[in-house]
Amino acid sequence: MLLRTSTLLLRTLREDPADAELASHKLLVRAGFIRRAAPGGFTWLPLGLRVLKKVERIVREEMDAIGAQEVHFPALLPKEPYEATGRWEEYGPNLLRLKDRRGADFLLAPTHEEMFTLLVKDQCSSYKDLPLSLYQVQTKFRDEARPRAGLLRGREFVMKDSYSFDVDDAGLEKAYQRHREAYVRIFDRLGLEYVIVSAVSGAMGGSASEEFLHPSPQGEDTFVRSAGGYAANVEAVTTVAPEPVSWDDAPAAVVLDTPDTPTIESLVAVSNALHPRDDRPWEAADTLKNVIVLLRHPDGTAEPLAVGVPGDREVDTKRLEAAVSPAAVEPFDEAQFAQHPELVKGYIGPGGLGLRTTGEGETATTTGIRYLVDPRVAPGTAWVTGADQPGKHVFGLVAGRDFTADGTIDVAEVRDGDPAPDGSGPLETARGMEMGHIFQLGRKYAEALDLKVLDENGKLVTVTMGSYGVGVSRAVAAIAEAGHDELGLVWPRSVAPVDVHVVVAGKDAEVVAAGEKLAADLVAAGLDVLLDDRPRVSPGVKFKDAELVGVPTIVTLGKRLSEGVVEVRDRATGERADVAVDDAAQHLVALVRG
Ligand code: ATP
Ligand code: MG
């Protein structure tokens, strides 16, 4: 395949687009790969589309290799299947809902579990029809709150989604492992560094789910890892709860005036001055901070929730959102406080939440506000916390003796140095981009949509499913972000828009003819070539464009052609080699074929 710069729709820009923050976004626009067409929507120009198609091809090859079969669904779908699974509401504002001319409800699909489930229900009736894995490469729609960073977070984006169908858990496990291995090969071939992190907290007892994260400071996800091999998305990290301790010798709790304690630090200082502990000084981690939020359930109802965390940690919004999903988290504002006069702002303690133990282990709940605490608030631990009166704190309030929460919630921020839950050492936090997600769904969708098949004994059994996604358009941006320099894009061979960029750096007829011949020879050998054959463009501009576009191998035919030499340059390393023009085609083919 030969592309000629003279006729190609390629308009490189010297200036960064104003709306772009990330290098990948700026360079993909400047190098003429994409153009913004809508908020969160991009037009793929010829070079960009070639990269996208190459990523798609790698994904398809690896899906086909594990026996998954490609199908293609509409993106515009009726509401009913999504209503049956509850997702019409649960998906929240990210779901693009619309009406047709008759007023019927439709959506632009953000993901397709329902449709695949219904397809298999329609086509399969026996265990003999399974196992089955199906996939599609398709445009997905999500009304993202902050479509940013170009292709990394679009409102319209390309995803490969696949779904596995099995009669039993062992089958699902096998399908999951096969997908996992296929994803490893996909990201290896894309040349994209990745970490496989667990995405479901063990404490929640969820089914297996892992994400393929590309470590990058530009990523929107936070993950943790330990030297001993533990790796998890921050939402999935579980806290090691301390062992319960006896409160037999614990002194009674005391309420004291604590004016001028606006910060945790000042509260700790006052605690050690007014009511020192016997064993050691009070620390920030001994204070119990109670945060109230409003949960908005998918059906529209709201519920206040109190969350108790050690005062040296904030509540991590992402962990909280994940823990209460599908409910959304809203702030507990002044109007809400006005409805709950028993809550003394700044001094909220378990007592004010109505959870002071009344004796005999019974708890009196007066406010009706659900109170969940960090796992570190283990039975027998003593706390400094609000006394539910203005200007007063309570010291030595013992969990289990003086109050009992409604349960635990693991949503405090995770820090560098926290212990890994599996004992594999201290955790280190880092940022990453979610490139893929594999998920053992189990029977949730099959149950909701009544997908059953006859098993070997002629008994109807509910099918168990997995769902697996790769962000195809996101991968293009992630590769661009990972592999650029100050001159422009630097593509790995596996997804480069073409194999070789031939630059004709001279007006002489011999130079032009040699460029044409080299390009033709390369194309004849099966390579894809971009030939910069623009007659009235200076060599300097051509070199700049070649650097910006980022094809891995750049060949220049210029002054030294008279000596029979062309220059072959490696875009990634900058290394240059002189090659005899007569050997150039052979040399380049060998280089590209590796
Ligand atoms: P995120 O947490 O980044 O919003 P997600 O967990 O909602 O992603 P999934 O539903 O797991 O995404 O979708 C599968 C894959 O699709 C993701 O791993 C990601 O690579 C890609 N993806 C998701 N949302 C977008 C988007 N808005 N733009 C581009 N790619 C996306
Ligand atoms: Mg995901």
Q: Please identify, by atom number, the ligand 1 atom nearest to the C-alpha of residue 470.
A: 15
User: What was the pLDDT predicted at 240?
Assistant: 87
Calculate mean pLDDT across residues 45-60: 98
For ligand 1, the distance from its centroid to the CA atom of residue 4, given in whole angstroms, is: 35
Q: Which CATH superfamily is domain 18-237+428-481 in?
A: Bira Bifunctional Protein; Domain 2 (3.30.930.10)
**313 Rama class: left (phi>0) / alpha (psi -120 to 50) / beta:** beta
For ligand 1, the distance from its centroid to the CA atom of residue 153, given in whole angstroms, is: 8
Higher pLDDT, 31 or 277: 31
Q: How far is CA 60 from CA 159, 183, 409, 436, 472, in A?
A: 12, 11, 41, 14, 11
Q: Judge whether residue 362 has pLDDT over 70.
A: no
Q: Which residues belong to CATH 3.40.50.800 in the chain?
A: 500-593
Buried b (16+ CB within 10 A) or exposed e, 545-562: bbbbbbbbbbbbbbeebe
Of 84, 205, 95, nearest in space to 451 by CA = 84
Q: Whose Cα sits closest to atom 20 in ligand 1? A: 471
User: What was the pLDDT predicted at 204?
Assistant: 46
- The model's confidence at residue 346, banded by pLDDT at 50, 70 and 90, is confident
Q: Judge whether residue 469 has pLDDT over 60.
A: yes
Whether the ω angle into residue 326 lies within 30 degrees of 0, i.e. cis, is yes
- The model's confidence at residue 389, banded by pLDDT at 50, 70 and 90, is confident
pLDDT digits (tens, 9 = 90+) for 491-507: 999 999 999 999 999 99
Q: Judge whether residue 368 has pLDDT over 80.
A: no
Predicted TM-score (pTM) of the model is 0.91
What number does CATH give the domain 500-593?
3.40.50.800
Asked whether 154 lines ligand 1 (CB < 6 A), one says yes
**What single-letter amino acid sits at 435?**
M
Asked whether 436 lines ligand 1 (CB < 6 A), one says yes
Of 200, 204, 164, nearest in space to 180 by CA = 164
Asked whether 153 lines ligand 1 (CB < 6 A), one says yes
Q: What are phi and psi of 453, to 5 degrees?
A: -130, 165
Q: Whose Cα sits closest to atom 15 in ligand 1? A: 471
Paired strand residues for 436: 212, 470
Angstrom distance (rounded) from CA 302 to CA 527: 61
Q: Judge whether residue 113 has pLDDT over 80.
A: yes
Judged by average pLDDT, the poorest of 6-10, 55-59, 158-162, 344-348 is 344-348
Of 186, 258, 251, 480, nearest in space to 383 by CA = 251
Calculate mean pLDDT across residues 165-178: 97
Contact 150, 165 (CB under 8 A): no
Q: Which residues belong to CATH 3.90.960.10 in the chain?
A: 254-408
- Out of 434, 468, 481, give the residue to mutate to test ligand 1, the one with the largest number of ligand atoms within 8 Å of its CB: 434
For ligand 2, the distance from its centroid to the CA atom of residue 50, given in whole angstroms, is: 26
Angstrom distance (rounded) from CA 498 to CA 508: 26
Asked whether 142 lines ligand 1 (CB < 6 A), one says yes
Calculate mean pLDDT across residues 112-140: 98
- Out of 474, 476, 479, give the residue to mutate to test ligand 1, the one with the largest number of ligand atoms within 8 Å of its CB: 474
pLDDT digits (tens, 9 = 90+) for 213-240: 999 999 999 999 999 999 999 999 999 8
Topology (CATH) of 254-408: YbaK protein (3.90.960)
Asked whether 213 lines ligand 1 (CB < 6 A), one says no
Asked whether 157 lines ligand 1 (CB < 6 A), one says yes
Please measure the distance between the N-terminal and C-terminal CA atoms of the chain and give it in whole angstroms: 19
Q: How many CB atoms lie within 10 A of CB 21?
A: 12
Give 169's Cβ-side CA count (13 Å radius): 2
- The model's confidence at residue 299, banded by pLDDT at 50, 70 and 90, is confident
- Out of 159, 214, 319, give the residue to mutate to test ligand 1, the one with the largest number of ligand atoms within 8 Å of its CB: 159
> Dmax over Cα atoms in the chain, in whole Å?
100
Q: Which residues belong to CATH 3.30.930.10 in the chain?
A: 18-237+428-481
CA 425 to chain centre: 25
Q: Please identify, by atom number, the ligand 1 atom nearest to the C-alpha of residue 110.
A: 10
Asked whether 474 lines ligand 1 (CB < 6 A), one says yes
Q: Between β-strands 41-44 and 34-38, what pairing exists: parallel, antiparallel or unpaired?
A: antiparallel
**What single-letter amino acid sits at 179?**
H
Angstrom distance (rounded) from CA 215 to CA 213: 6
pLDDT digits (tens, 9 = 90+) for 506-517: 999 999 999 999
For ligand 2, the distance from its centroid to the CA atom of residue 41, given in whole angstroms, is: 20
**What single-letter amino acid sits at 74?**
P
Q: Whose Cα sits closest to atom 11 in ligand 1? A: 437
Asked whether 469 lines ligand 1 (CB < 6 A), one says yes
Asked whether 144 lines ligand 1 (CB < 6 A), one says yes
